[in-house]
Amino acid sequence: MLRLVIACGLVAALGLPAALPRWRLDGNPNPPSQAQINAAENRVRQQQAALGAQQGRLSTAAAQLAKLQVQAEVLTERYDEVQVDEQRAAAAYRVTEARLKYAQQAENATQRRLAGLAAEEFESAGGFDSMTAMLGDADGPQGYLNEVGLGQVLAQNGTDTLADSQANDVVARVFRTQAHDLLVAEQADLRAASELKLAIQAAVARQLAFVQAAKTERNKLAGQLATAQAHETALEAARAAALAAQAAAAAASAAAAAGSVDGSGQAPSWAWGSGASVTQGDIAANWALTQLGKPYQWGAAGPDSYDCSGLTMEAWAHAGVQLLHYTGYQWEEGPHVPLNELQRGDLLFYATDTSDPATIHHVGIYIGDGMMVDAPYTGAFVRIDSIYQPGGLIGAVRPAG
């Protein structure tokens, strides 16, 4: 974790200049170098390029997935249509089967009637003599019929019966053929549509898995980019704060040597150790965390909105310490503490000129691990920030209890 030890004025009890800050960054006791910052910037650019390329791949994959989903919808609807048609064909087949049954029955009936007519003709064609003639014919009954002519017999006794027999035979053959062909065709269409549907659904599933994998990789790269950006920001803030602290310490030392420290640059005359207790700091920090998400409002001190000093004032009020609603005054309402000795609840101050406390413009509440709760600016909400995020960190104060 990045730590800063910063002296913001004279050590009141001893009247001596504060020690110069010592930085630790990945085991290096020196402030981050410009080369380190440049390397971090290059890493950010590399991560941005990788993320951009992956986002392009994801966009292409998503577009392909959209096309496949449209195709799947079309083919699924086609399958539904063919399925309905097959159901209709099956119903038609059942109807034609019934018609075929009746046609066959009619055909059989007409054939029986035709046979009966022929028999009647034999019996009524001249009595015994005719029968004798028929039987005596060398070709038997068939020769007799050929001689007399079946058409003549039927013309005289049952022309309609013969016509019915022929018609029923034709109808039976037509129904049989139509029913079979229709059902076979629709069943073939259904199988083809089903195969297409399954194929496109499998393609959609594969593409969806590819898109999900691309999203996972995109999110991973986005996380790496955020980490690289945060690292770069922390390095820049650390270097700026270290250099500013060195300058401020040098200025304070020079002013002390000259005996000319004025009221605006002098550290408050709080004795070391006079700040609030650890328990009070925890109370203030924990209460501040309960206000996350409430909007920033200039001049507000709760309960529904806050500005930065209003939030810190209310937090410490819950811990039994009264502060004034102004960052400049809060800067003087407790002993200053170096950043490597921060406790939860300590106040962190930010200035446009870190060598001049008169330019302090923001304050937050330390909650541990290099993080703070603060009400940052108009349009934002009470949130958790890195203590180095705003920039211009001038020092920390432990409110006096």
Give the model's pLDDT for residue 381.
94
Q: Is 324 helix (H, G, I), strand (E, B) or coil?
A: coil
Give the model's pLDDT for residue 16.
32
Max avg pLDDT among 13-27, 90-104, 119-133, 344-358: 344-358
Give the model's pLDDT for residue 349.
95
- Are 251 and 8 in contact, with CB atoms under 8 Å apart? no
Give the model's pLDDT for residue 365.
97
Residue 293 burial (CB count, 10 A): 8
Question: In whole angstroms, what is the distance from residue 189 CA to residue 305 CA?
Answer: 68
Residue 115: pLDDT above 80? Answer: no
The strand pairing partners of 397, in sequence order, are: 336, 347
Q: How confident is the model at residue 7 (pLDDT cuts 50, 70, 90)?
A: very low
Rounded to an integer, the average pLDDT of 286-313 is 93
Convert the pLDDT of each residue in 61-88 to its tens digit.
999 888 888 888 788 777 888 888 888 8
Question: In whole angstroms, what is the distance from residue 336 CA to residue 266 CA?
Answer: 11
Query: 172: closest CA among 115, 104, 109, 114?
Result: 104
Convert the pLDDT of each residue in 324-339 to its tens digit.
999 999 999 999 999 8
Rounded to an integer, the average pLDDT of 331-353 is 93
Angle between helices 140-148 and 150-157 (to 10 degrees): 70
The model's pTM is: 0.38
Specify the higher pLDDT residue, 357 or 259. 357
Residue 167: pLDDT above 70? Answer: no
Question: In whole angstroms, what is the distance from residue 153 CA to residue 136 CA?
Answer: 20
Percent of the chain having pLDDT more than 90?
28
Architecture of domain 268-397: Alpha-Beta Complex (3.90)
The rounded Cα 17 to chain-centroid distance in angstroms is 56
Residue 386: pLDDT above 80? Answer: yes
Specify the higher pLDDT residue, 132 or 189. 189
Please confirm whether the linkage preceding 376 is cis (ω < 30° from 0). Answer: no
The strand pairing partners of 395, in sequence order, are: 349
Rounded to an integer, the average pLDDT of 294-302 is 89
Q: How confident is the model at residue 166 (pLDDT cuts 50, 70, 90)?
A: low
Convert the pLDDT of each residue in 224-280 to its tens digit.
888 888 888 777 777 776 676 666 666 555 555 544 333 334 444 565 567 889 999
Q: Which amino acid is at 70?
A: V
Indicate the range of 151-155, 244-248, 277-281, 319-323 predicted with least confidence: 151-155
Give the model's pLDDT for residue 69.
82
Q: Which string of b and e fits 332-352 if b means at least 16 CB within 10 Å? A: bbbbbbbbeebbbbbbbbbbe
Q: What integer best gives the mean pLDDT of the chain?
A: 76
Residue 101: pLDDT above 50? Answer: yes
Residue 9: pLDDT above 60? Answer: no
Indicate the range of 24-33, 35-44, 286-295, 381-390 predicted with least confidence: 24-33
Residue 147: pLDDT above 80? Answer: no
Give the model's pLDDT for residue 307.
92
Give the model's pLDDT for residue 123.
63
Question: In whole angstroms, what is the distance from residue 349 CA to residue 395 CA?
Answer: 6
* Integer Rg of the chain from CA: 51
Domain ranges of the chain: 62-222, 268-397
Q: How far is CA 102 from CA 36, 90, 110, 236, in A?
A: 97, 19, 12, 97
Rounded to an integer, the average pLDDT of 99-106 is 74
Give the model's pLDDT for residue 234.
75
Give the model's pLDDT for residue 146.
59
